[in-house]
């Protein structure tokens, strides 16, 4: 069971490929529409707000707040089971986009994770990508 790896993003997926490639440089990227200035996330080719195809990439400062979270205490996947209990959260970045991630705390501190808590970006490195995670600010 131990050789079942953690699920990682597929770098052949066209829309999110630039996002994940940038993680290797520890850059957290998001898109902004040049026509309507709307924030687009998750990444894609078109702007769902105004139908434009003219989007640019911006780099997030990596600061935000916990919108909501849960503590996973039962999971079948062996990689995650070894980590439980852990906090999965939706993080509202200050630039106006929301992404799913982990709030990294020691297992014994897992109950300290709270909605509204300020968090800061950190990285977990893998061979082809790095995963953007968050720690209490």
Partner 1 sequence: MSSQQRDAAIVGIYEYPLRTVGPEASSLRIKAECAIRALEDAGLTLKDVDALYEAGEEGAVHAGIPSLPEYLGLHVGIADTTMAGGASYEFQAAHAKRAIASGKANVALLTYGSTLRRGGTALGSSGRSYAAGYPHPVVNMEEPWGLTLVGDYAMVANRHMHQYGTTSAQLAEISVAARLHGTRNPQAVQAMTDLQFKGTGEITIEEVLNSRVIADPLHMLECCMISDGGGAVVIASPEVARGCKEKPVWVLGGGEAIKYPENADDITFSAAARSGPMAFGEAGVSPGEVDVAMLYDSFTITVLTVLEDLGFCRKGEGGQFVQGGRLRFDAEAKPALNTDGGGLSSNHPGMRGIFLLIEATRQMRGQSTSQVAGARLAVASGMGGRLGSRHAAGTIVLGID
Query: Site residues (CB under 8 A) for partner 1?
Result: 6-10, 12-13, 15-16, 20, 39, 41-44, 67-77, 79-80, 83, 86, 88-90, 92, 96-102, 115-116, 131
User: Using the 8-state DSSP alphabet, how is residue 20 labeled?
Assistant: H
* C-alpha closest to that of 22 among 129, 113, 110, 134: 129
Report the relative pairing of strands 55-59 and 86-93 from DSSP bridges.
unpaired
Contact 52/33 with Cβ under 8 angstroms? yes
Q: How far is the CB of 75 from partner 1 (least distance, A)?
A: 4
By the 8 A CB rule, do 63 and 94 touch?
yes
What is the nearest approach in angstroms of partner 1 to the Cβ of residue 49? 10
The nearest distance, CB 61 to partner 1, in angstroms, is: 16
């Amino acid at each position: 069971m131990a050789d079942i790896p953690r699920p990682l993003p597929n770098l052949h997926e066209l829309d999110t490929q630039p996002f994940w490639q940038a993680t290797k440089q520890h850059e957290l990227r998001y898109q902004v529409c040049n026509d309507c200035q709307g924030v687009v996330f998750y990444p894609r080719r078109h702007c769902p707000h105004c139908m434009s195809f003219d989007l640019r990439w911006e780099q997030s400062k990596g600061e935000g707040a916990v919108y909501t979270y849960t503590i996973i205490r039962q999971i079948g996947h062996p990689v995650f089971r070894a980590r439980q209990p852990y906090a999965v959260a939706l993080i509202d970045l200050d630039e106006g986009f929301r992404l799913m991630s982990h709030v990294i705390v020691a297992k014994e501190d897992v109950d300290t994770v709270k909605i509204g808590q300020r968090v800061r970006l950190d990285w977990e490195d893998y061979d082809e990508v790095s995963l953007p995670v968050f720690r209490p600010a």
